[in-house]
Structure 1
């Protein structure tokens, strides 16, 4: 068998593994669930549990694809930007009020550190301009400060604080070199400072020269940058850089009675420096453009800068690149080489999209009956809802499907606003509720929620273009990208074509790219993308001017719902003075 590239992705609810051939075609994949603890704003996981799930997923994927260990040429990891705490022996250290040592990961969506984020942002440090003007409570500095202020015993025990994808690579190779992706995007590492050293060094030195010690001292975390920043990363490398000597014998060991929880691969298999999951999605899809979509008057370097990738899962991340640094208020970045080497990354995001749709459906009184109907037809509840909407549109002689929601409006910030408003205190709004508890009402609420999410993406795209981007093409991957009603609504709302990749498992493909580059199968990440990315279906916006007029009107309502929320917030704050 020719070379097979293994990609591993740890999401919020499961670990997944996928195997790809030399043309980027998926040969087989598998997943394994992971445990999560939720208590208010505190959301935690276990690195031990996640590693076991990774091993199970890898073995299952190899079995499904009929791939032997010797056929796996390389592997790469992607994961949520969750924070992992381990001691000097690599054992987990609790980050939980419970003291449970299994719970050593603060999950990306955890919002316990809102107060710490506000205090950090009040410092007005120059580093903050490289994350949209301020850190989010989903980033690592606020979470680290929270642990220091609330769990002193744990704080003193931790030897390494790591992003989850970096920890996975460390667990596999023993090399704790961090990724420019994780450190730049979530830890305030200054990639452009690293760039200056990288350009001057023939050896491509990986010494971590991008930490701003003054910033860490100002926010009360100066102890993390003592001793060559060993606790947060003394070496940093491009995604896809080969780590150590590849898989360690311990991590690679084939399954047997004594060691059932390892990967079952060959020692020495090359492993590439990691990516955050959304960024891996960008690498897995950004070159998936049909020849017909290429612009003859635009260079290859410029063409990629006209695209934005929507990585649609529990949340949605909006990834765009540029050759010049673009400072965009409320949008994360510019991050140098955080996704594609030597390009600046702009990262927008919505904190709850797939999770919001799940919540809207599951909290409705009609959900259990609808779920049973979907199961009896062997389809997902989303497919059933989409079929219902088409029938309702015909029954009501609606001019187009979107018009069903003319009296229902959803503002989707049920978990705060990541961008472009960057307000973690923003709340969700549903306007137009009645006493109706029918399945048809749930279908309307579901469609209105999809539209609210799409208006949020439109807000991000317009805001980015107003600050220097020239985005005119979207690419989508992830769970919601499989929902054609959702994708069509996004195309109609934003007015851009949306390209779906041939292989929807773009995050797995992006992580597989990292290993392929580490194994020297390609000169670099962009070279691998051009070979392994492939386009599938193109969803064009409606040509009906009435559809555009309708969504323009609803978009104005969408924008006004936040303005009203601010007014109500101010009124109540004054009432409590």
Structure 2
């Protein structure tokens, strides 16, 4: 008598997320409870020369392969066990030729340097010219493009690197290039195209719904805009150079991971061919997807229906820069704030996006350029702690020594306007400069700690400005969620909570951007029917940081916030005086 073979237990899903930041490529593996099983990173090369900041897509891909294999090893997971893959990356611009080979975007002519990094500001003049066009598409990016967006950068290349312009067959956002490199499918993401290329996602969906919901043909490009700014050649040939098809984040691409990418040889990923790969997200937006449903019931939020409570939250993705993202059911036009972007992060919702171009980068700059920095760094290394942890300890000691009523009051004489890389939001002034008011001849570690604290506060005042500005134009933000490297700094988060006056929720898993990227693959694998469903299943809250209940703390920060706002007004006055003197 024959018996049936025992059934195998169902294969547990393991979702792989890959994130390419400014300085490294990272990979993280998650289970179907949203728990991180293992992650690893690998550094990537960067070239900085004045306003030009460049990278190599070849170098980035090799770093991804290294990180994926290391993450699998650390998690004790075989590449054969990974069930899906999603990518997130900085909104950098990649140029490749017809064969997919790099095309230089560098004055140096170095063919490796085919990526213009998001923070690159070479195209300030091109951005100004584009904004002078007053095109209707500009209404959907806060009224003006930033030099960090792709149209100004593309125009710069056309005007300065003619050979590269003629050689380039595809211009792609970095995260779209990664998914294309993995699958061979050139479908672009609504996230990248809407947020950085002036693609009109709402027009795309309106026309798509009228035709066929499965039709991903890119109908959201405004050809008149591209013609008017001098880039009409990009929309010839059915937009093949900038995106012929566009899809929601998490849309399954092609036939999944291609065999030549899956195989282990030549430092490729070492995964199974054919596993689903989801349409990508910008890294900050992946952070939003990784945390936005992480608010516990104990946090006092709006009493509206649960489905709409998500519209009262703002996500802070705090890394080299900080991105501030909130969503709404209706479109909100907010001067100086990017958007409204249709379905650019959470499908079927409008995205509002603010940002500060230098936060983590600014803290590094302030610390590393102080004379006390080398000694402080050595002390931190000898104790195996971060320099931020050591500075936070120094500030606690100073509080005991000096005796102010609360730690924040140590900066009563130091005020920082953090616009060292311009103001992205809400003033949208790339010409704005940083200001430090209150310097002395003191070169001690204690003085560096005070300068560090004042800089943290300046960044937090900038976030308060963005939150207040958004709420004044239709949002009702009452809860913040923070992720990214700076979110691990307790002082940074507490100062933000005290200054903004709202609770800040931290995620259970620290690698929220990687989780957001992994969610894209999970949706592509049909484990979840929508991104929102996957967010609800995989997001989880950790610690909640509440604002101080001490009224003196609020009064103090209100006064310093007025000084913060006044520093920019003074800068405008000084700029006007000098302009008049030189005229």
- The bucket for the TM-score relative to the shorter chain is over 0.9
Which of the residues 392, 396, 404 maps onto 2:398?
Answer: 392
2-side partners of 1:153 and 1:187: how far apart? 22
Question: Does the CA-based 8 Å contact 2:131-2:145 persist in structure 1?
Answer: yes
| Structure 2 equivalent of residue 223 of structure 1 | 233
Which of the residues 22, 28, 35 maps onto 1:18?
Answer: 28
Question: Does the CA-based 8 Å contact 2:255-2:274 persist in structure 1?
Answer: yes
2-side partners of 1:4 and 1:294: how far apart? 34
Q: Deviations over 1:162-188 (max 9, x none)?
A: 000000000000001000000000000
Map 1:463-502 → 2, pairs under 5 A: 463-502=469-508
2:408 corresponds to 1:402: yes
Q: Deviations over 1:423-460 (max 9, x none)?
A: 00000000000000000000000000000000000000
Q: Cα offset for 1:198?
A: 3.2
| Structure 1 equivalent of residue 294 of structure 2 | 288
Q: Deviations over 1:545-570 (max 9, x none)?
A: 00000000000000000000001111
2-side partners of 1:424 and 1:293: how far apart? 37
Which of the residues 86, 96, 99 maps onto 1:89?
Answer: 99
Find the residue that maps to 1:349 and give its secondary structure: strand
2-side partners of 1:297 and 1:18: how far apart? 35
Map 1:544-559 → 2, pairs under 5 A: 544-559=550-565
Q: Cα offset for 1:576?
A: 1.0
Q: Cα offset for 1:504?
A: 1.3
Q: Can you give the 5+ residue segments of structure 1 that lack an aligned partner in the other structure? A: none
| Structure 1 equivalent of residue 518 of structure 2 | 512
Question: Does the CA-based 8 Å contact 2:301-2:478 persist in structure 1?
Answer: no
1-side partners of 2:415 and 2:298: how far apart? 36
Map 1:199-348 → 2, pairs under 5 A: 199-255=209-265, 259=266, 261-293=267-299, 295=301, 297-348=303-354
2-side partners of 1:73 and 1:573: how far apart? 60
Q: Cα offset for 1:254?
A: 1.4
Q: Cα offset for 1:300?
A: 2.1
Q: Cα offset for 1:296?
A: 7.7
Which of the residues 416, 432, 436 maps onto 2:438?
Answer: 432
2:175 corresponds to 1:165: yes
| Structure 1 equivalent of residue 453 of structure 2 | 447
2-side partners of 1:246 and 1:174: how far apart? 9
| Structure 1 equivalent of residue 191 of structure 2 | 181
| Structure 2 equivalent of residue 27 of structure 1 | 37
2-side partners of 1:19 and 1:72: how far apart? 8
1-side partners of 2:213 and 2:394: how far apart? 61
Q: Deviations over 1:269-322 (max 9, x none)?
A: 100000000000000000001122265831122100000000000000000000
Q: Cα offset for 1:151?
A: 0.3
TM-score by length of 1: 0.99
Which of the residues 364, 372, 375 maps onto 2:370?
Answer: 364
Which of the residues 145, 152, 155 maps onto 1:145?
Answer: 155
Q: Deviations over 1:193-251 (max 9, x none)?
A: 01202332444210000000000000000000001000000000000000000000111
2-side partners of 1:527 and 1:448: how far apart? 41
2:90 corresponds to 1:80: yes
2-side partners of 1:385 and 1:203: how far apart? 54
1-side partners of 2:269 and 2:569: how far apart? 51
1-side partners of 2:188 and 2:575: how far apart? 41
2-side partners of 1:300 and 1:85: how far apart? 43
2-side partners of 1:296 and 1:134: how far apart? 32
1-side partners of 2:231 and 2:301: how far apart? 48
Q: Deviations over 1:305-359 (max 9, x none)?
A: 0000000000000000000000000000000000000000000000000000000
Q: Cα offset for 1:574?
A: 1.0
Question: Does the CA-based 8 Å contact 2:499-2:557 persist in structure 1?
Answer: yes
TM-score by length of 2: 0.98
Which of the residues 112, 120, 124 maps onto 1:110?
Answer: 120
Q: Deviations over 1:476-495 (max 9, x none)?
A: 00000000000000000000
1-side partners of 2:307 and 2:322: how far apart? 25
1-side partners of 2:226 and 2:239: how far apart? 11
2-side partners of 1:295 and 1:438: how far apart? 44
2-side partners of 1:437 and 1:125: how far apart? 50
2-side partners of 1:397 and 1:60: how far apart? 48
2-side partners of 1:438 and 1:187: how far apart? 46
Name the count of aligned residue pairs: 573
